[in-house]
Amino acid sequence: MIYDADAWIGHWPFRSLPRKNAPELVQIMDRHGIDKALVGNLNALLYKDAHEANHELIRDIAPHRDRIVPCAVINPAYFGWQRDLRQCREQFGMPVVRILPDYHGYTLADACAAELVALATELGMAIALFWRIVDPRGRHPLDPGREADPAEIARFIRQFPDARFLLLNFRNVLPGPVDGAPQRLYDIPLFVGHNGLRPAREFKKHPPTTFAFGTTAPLRSPAAAILALEKARLDPPTLEAIQHENLTRLIRE
């Protein structure tokens, strides 16, 4: 079984995507042998009221709930977010909340970020943080997204020893006690961007509990992440852990 920790549907306003709605995402998953995916709605990045995108997501994935697990995107700088987050968890059954400070006009140092982690943890949700959404070298001039400061993220997550974090689209495993801690899980799309021998070395360098499978589809091709796992020559338990077990253990559907 392959479980994708990092997929989306919705409109990416800065580039035409070949596929972007729920049926098309399922086509991508089928083509690449991905059984299940955690999916957020890209529309939430720029809506004033990001929670409307969560409603859209639930509507759009309804025929595919056996394959698509919906993720909330919440803007904790927007009034009323607490009620929205509760609805995402209690009514919509979302096990993960993705936060994107650059797109919603706050920073991890702001009190609202910590408040969101606290409430999400109380609700049994994991919190997904991104190092970046797209490569800044090709960034649209109106795209507010930047590469996050790894040190700032490391400081942030250390404040919440009981919280469970998904660290998505990171280039490197953060130094320090987060490495290998079972409640912090990295997906792999940026680890595959270097030479063809690197993924195997990265997978061997860190405990098997460090990584989850992730693609960033449909922004990027999932084929690279699939190929990285295939060619890393992992032992079967490690492969199973990365393909789905670590993620299944982290989140509470």
Partner 1 sequence: MNRREVLRSASVLLAAGSAAPATAARPREIDLSKFRIIDCHSHCSVDGSYALSADEMVESLDLYGIDQVCCSAPITSGPSPPETVTARNDLILAAMRKYPERIMGQCFLDPSHGAHAQDEITRCVVDNGMIGVKLYHQRKITDPAQFPIIERCIDLGVPILVHAGYPAAPELREQQPNIATGEHFAEIAGRYPEAMFICAHIGGGGDWERQLKGLREAPTVYVDTSGSVADSGIVDRTVRELGAERVLFACDTSMIRGLGKIIDSNLDDGELRLVLSENFLGILARRKI
Residues of the shown chain interacting with partner 1 in the complex, contacts defined by CB under 8 A: 1-2, 15-19, 30-34, 134-141, 192-197, 199, 217-237, 239-240, 243
Q: How far is the CB of 138 from partner 1 (least distance, A)?
A: 5
**Other beta carbons less than 10 A from residue 207's beta carbon:** 13
Instruction: Classify 141 in phi/psi space as left (phi over 0), alpha (psi -120 to 50) or beta.
Output: alpha
Nearer to partner 1, 84 or 245 (CB): 245
Nearer to partner 1, 151 or 197 (CB): 197
- For residues 132 and 148, the answer to whether their CB atoms sit within 8 Å is yes
Q: How far is the CB of 197 from partner 1 (least distance, A)?
A: 6
Q: How far is the CB of 114 from partner 1 (least distance, A)?
A: 31
Q: How far is the CB of 1 from partner 1 (least distance, A)?
A: 6
Nearer to partner 1, 121 or 221 (CB): 221
CA 157 to CA 153: how far, in whole Å?
A: 6
| Residue type for position 50 | A
Nearer to partner 1, 63 or 237 (CB): 237
Q: How far is the CB of 126 from partner 1 (least distance, A)?
A: 23
DSSP H or E stretch at residue 203? helix 198-205
Nearer to partner 1, 16 or 91 (CB): 16
CA 54 to CA 46: how far, in whole Å?
A: 13
CA nearest 4: which of 185, 233, 196?
185
DSSP state of 173: P
